[in-house]
Amino acid sequence: MKLHVYDVILEPVITEKIAAQEESQGKYAFKVHADANKKQIKSSIEKMFNVHVTSVNTMNKQGKWRRVRFQPGRTAAWKKAIVTLKTGEKIDITT
């Protein structure tokens, strides 16, 4: 599936663990399109933020069971990508 550069990256994932990795190891996490592969993610990050990506790790997160009143259901499954940048480069992700 051919995805546009701006359709691959959906939103950044901001947690305490990722914030610590950003400062020490230069790793950033993003919620990405479910059909995107590592090459597409790498090229999208490099074009959008003008940085050099050294590696991309991806994982599929399964939805969790939740209940609203008496009706059980699942939250949506999604794909997460952890991107490692070249030493000394940063991405400014301020919300």
Q: Please indicate, yes or no, if residue 55 is contained in any of the structural domains.
A: yes
DSSP letters for the chain: ----HHHHEEEE---HHHHHHHHHH-EEEEEE-TT--HHHHHHHHHHHH---EEEEEEEEEPPPEEEETTEEEEPPPEEEEEEEEPTT-------
Query: Does residue 68 form part of some domain?
Result: no
Flag whether 92 is in a domain: no
Query: One digit per residue, pLDDT tens: the chain, 95 residues?
Result: 688 989 999 999 999 999 999 989 999 999 999 999 999 999 999 999 999 999 999 999 999 999 999 999 999 999 999 999 999 999 987 65
pTM score of the predicted model:
0.89
- The structural domain count of the chain equals 1
CATH number at 81 reads 3.30.70.330
Domain coverage including residue 30: 5-63+77-85
Look at residue 57 and tell me if it is in a domain: yes
